[in-house]
Amino acid sequence: MPMFKESEDRRAEWEIPSGVFVVSLLDGDRTNGYAAGWVVRVSEVPVMIQVAVWDENYSYELAQACTHFSVHILEEGQQDVARHFGRTCGRDCDKFEGYAVIPGVSGVPVLEDCLAHLECEVASRQVFGDHIVLVGKAIEKGIHREGKALIYNYQDYQ
Amino acid sequence: MPMFKESEDRRAEWEIPSGVFVVSLLDGDRTNGYAAGWVVRVSEVPVMIQVAVWDENYSYELAQACTHFSVHILEEGQQDVARHFGRTCGRDCDKFEGYAVIPGVSGVPVLEDCLAHLECEVASRQVFGDHIVLVGKAIEKGIHREGKALIYNYQDYQ
C-alpha cells in the first residue's frame, strides 16, 4: 500500500515545473514549430539541449529525420504565442505566418519574439513511450531581450 | 555575424527555467541524493522521467549502474533542502541523515519533505558531454502535500 497517494486531478508528474517554449524543426525543406514544455539541458560543455515530440503531433513526422531544431524561450505574458503554436497544425497551415522569423545558420526558423533561443544540431534521437526525444548540440544561440521566462501553468491553456 | 548576442553574464541556456529537485539513486546497497534542476518528463504513457548527473559529482559513479532513482519535487521555500543536497558530498557523509526518509518499493530513499515524488526504474542510460542522462519508468509516485513547486533562481544558491 503506497504511503503517498495521487488523485485523478493531481498526478505527481504534473507537479514538475517547466518553462514554455516554441520549438522549430528543420527536415530538408520542411519546417514546423510547436509549443513545448518538456525542454531541458543535458550538457554544460558542450551546450546540449533536449526536446521531446508527442507521437500524435504532425511534428513527430519531422522529428524522425530532422537535422536541426531551435528552442525559443518564451517570456512572461507570451501565453498567446504558446496557444498559437499549440493549437494550430503545421499540416494545415504555416504556423510562422504573421511572426517575425529569420533563418538560423542551419536554415531552421528562428522566432524573433522570445527571450532567447538556442539553435541545435541533432546528435541523438530516441523514442520513449509516446514521445520521440531529440538531443542537440547548440550551434548558435542568443539573448533577444531582457525579461523573465514564462512558467507553464495549466490554467493558461484551457 | 549572429543577429542575437550573448554576454559572459547572460547565456541563452541559463534562461531555460526549471524546478528544483532532490534526486536519489540506488545502486545495490549504495545510495546517494543530489540537488538537481535538469529534470524533465519524456513520456506521458507510460510515465517516464529523465534526470542528468554531472561528471564531477559523486553521484556520477552511482549513475553508471544504478537500477532506480527517485525524483522529489521541492516546494517554494525549500531552498535550504536544495542547498544541503547540493553542497555536501555523499562520499563524505550520509546526506539523508536528519531528513525523514522511507524506502521506496525498490529500496531507493524517498524523501518525505517535498511536494511530490516519482520513483523510477532505469530504462536508459546515455552520456552527453559532461552529464550522464538516466531515463526511468515510474513504478511508484505520490503527492505529499499541497503547495507550489519551487522555481530555480541562481541567486538563491550564492
pTM of the prediction? 0.96
d(CA A153, CA A58): 24
CA distance A85 to chain B (A): 18
CA B34 centroid distance within chain: 6
Average pLDDT value over all residues in chain B: 95
pLDDT of residue A1: 54
Question: Is A19 an interface residue toward B (CB < 8 Å)?
Answer: yes
Q: Which domains does chain B possess?
A: 18-157 (2.30.110.10)
pLDDT digits (tens, 9 = 90+) for B29-86: 999 999 999 999 999 999 999 999 999 999 999 999 999 999 999 999 999 999 999 9
Tell me whether B15 touches chain A (CB under 8 Å).
Answer: yes
Please give the grid coordinates belonging to residue A112. 524573433
Pick from A54, A141, A150: CB nearest B12: A141
When scoring A3, A4, A137, A145 by the number of chain B Cβ atoms within 10 A, the one with the most, hence best to mutate, is A4
- Name the residue type at position B41: R
Q: How far apart are CA A69 and CA A122, in angstroms?
A: 7
Residue B106 has pLDDT above 80, yes or no: yes
CA distances (Å), A99 to each of A67, A102, A111, in order? Answer: 23, 10, 7
Half-sphere exposure of B104 (CA within 13 A, CB side): 26
Q: Partners of A73 in the beta sheet? A: A21, A116
pLDDT at B134 over 80: yes
User: What is the C-alpha to C-alpha distance for residues A107 and A88, in angstroms, rounded to an integer?
Assistant: 22
Minimum-distance CB partner of B129 among A18, A43, A128 = A43
Contact A144 B4 (CB under 8 A): yes
* Nearest residue in chain B measured CA to CA from A138: B13
User: In this predicted structure, what is the pLDDT of residue A158?
Assistant: 87
ipTM: 0.96
10 Å CB burial of residue A157 (0-12, 13-18, 19+) is: middle
Residue B114 has pLDDT above 70, yes or no: yes
Q: Quick check: B145 contacting A, CB < 8 Å?
A: no
Closest CA to B22 of B54, B51, B63: B51
Q: How far is B127 from chain A (nearest CA, A)?
A: 9
CA-to-CA separations, A130 to A50, A52, A127, B20, in angstroms, rounded: 16, 10, 7, 25
3-state secondary structure of A138: strand
Reading chain A (158 residues) residue by residue, the pLDDT tens digits are: 567 899 988 999 999 999 999 999 999 999 999 999 999 999 999 999 999 999 999 999 999 999 999 999 999 999 999 999 998 888 888 899 999 999 999 999 999 999 999 999 999 999 999 999 999 999 999 999 999 999 999 999 98
Longest dimension (CA), chain A: 55
Q: Which chain A residues are within 8 Å of B19, Cβ to Cβ?
A: 16-18
User: Touching check for A61 and chain B: CB below 8 Å?
Assistant: no
Per-residue DSSP letter, B13: G
What pLDDT does residue B2 have?
Answer: 66
